[in-house]
Amino acid sequence: MTGFSIALLALPFGLQAQSEESAAMLVLDGSGSMWGQIDGTPKITIAREAIDTMMGDWPANSPIGLMAYGHREEGQCGDIETLIEPGPLDRVAFRQAMESVNPRGKTPIGRSVERAAEALSHDDRATSVIIVTDGLENCGADLCELGARLETSGMAFTAHVIGFDIGDDGQLACLAESTGGQYLAARDAGELTDALRTVSTPEPDPTQSGPLFVDEFERSALGDDWSIEYPEPTGFILDSGELVTMTVRAGAMGDAPDQPNIFQWMGATLPEGDWEISADFTARLGEVKTLGGRRAIVQVGRYQDSDNHITVHIVRQGNSNDDMWLRLRAVSGGNASVADVEIAGDTRGYDLARILRDFEEKGARLTLVKRGRDYIGRLEMKRWAMQKGGPESIETEPLQVLRTAGKPAIFAGTLGSEQTVAEFDRIDIREVK
């Protein structure tokens, strides 16, 4: 049987340490068995979709290219082609290139791994290879010998192998194990997607420690660790590990001295140096309407009083364009500075109805970042994006602020007459060294 493999050469993933100098090559097999089906779907389709999902999490600082084999000629072990040279990820270009691969040929796993490793070795960069295959090498390569040779070549090289709906004769696992890599099994589309996500997930940044403080709201009352500015108990509740809060009066954190239900985390202390405050949430931000929607807002920040605070927030303007913004706002002594970026708009090609559903059903993570005197607002979507093929993490430009004061705080509200409901299920503080 011919098979298909996807090979990814990249240091930052799986078992390897991160490096901004590493690069990657993804090798897509165009061998004939790619037209085989699992649960009624061709394997080539499953592979394209799994790769595209993986690309949604691809780190911006890791160059990647695309190679294919077996897609132009039958029976030719030398049919290997670089479709995209390694460089910054262009997800649309990747999709288009993968769509051009029509399975027909053989499965030269060994030759493809060698060629990709050679292409990425010229600048003395460390590399690794991740192979996903539904079949075995059928062009005569000894994968055990190849792995041993690459391991002793002086290159920092590791091979990880995902076997997709196959039984291994030992060669695939040998290639992985001889280079210090891992062999993984995937039986269907879901497991293939999970395996690719695993290999594309960066290891934790060694400069960032684990959380100093975490609250997952697993109790019936907030307790002494929290203080609520002008509490209105009808507007919040702890339920099933979530702090559920809804608007009781129009406004935002910091807009008025007596704004109700600003939640301050008194039990947490921010470190002296660099840090991040992050909150995971889902939110009901209204529906799409003809003349603009709900003017909703969700905020995370550091709050002392209405004249001294810094917050990052998602805000839905509710205007005729119904645009949404990620906004960083710093107020010191009553003087405000703002950095923001538009993230969606109903009249700008965005599927705003789908975005609103994703905020409610999948959720997001909102983070205020301090780096020296620079502050940044960050939004991380949970396995979704504002537009198909778009990034799953968005940041504002930095604001330089000499000093801030106050406790970590969260808030959800509206700038109009309609209610906003947010469900916070976690907040944490991390020190960044």
In terms of phi and psi (left: phi > 0; alpha: psi -120 to 50; beta: otherwise), the region of 170 is left
pLDDT of residue 207: 54
The answer to whether the beta carbons of residues 162 and 186 sit under 8 Å apart is yes
pLDDT of residue 433: 78
pLDDT of residue 62: 77
Task: Please list the ranges in the chain whose pLDDT falls under 70.
Answer: 1-22, 122-126, 154, 156, 168-169, 201-209, 289-293, 318-320, 346-348
Find the angle CA(139)-CA(145)-CA(151) to the nearest 5 degrees: 125
Helix (H, G, I), strand (E, B) or coil at 297: strand
The answer to whether the beta carbons of residues 5 and 133 sit under 8 Å apart is yes
Task: List the one residue out of 367, 371, 357, 374 whose CA is nearest residue 394.
Answer: 367
Cα 384 from Cα 364, distance rounded (Å): 9
One-letter identity of residue 387: Q
Helix (H) or strand (E) run with residue 263 in it: strand 262-265
| φ and ψ at residue 400, rounded to 5 degrees | -95, 120
Helix (H, G, I), strand (E, B) or coil at 46: helix
DSSP letter, residue 92: H
Q: Which two tokens stand for residue 263?
A: 């939640």
pLDDT of residue 1: 43
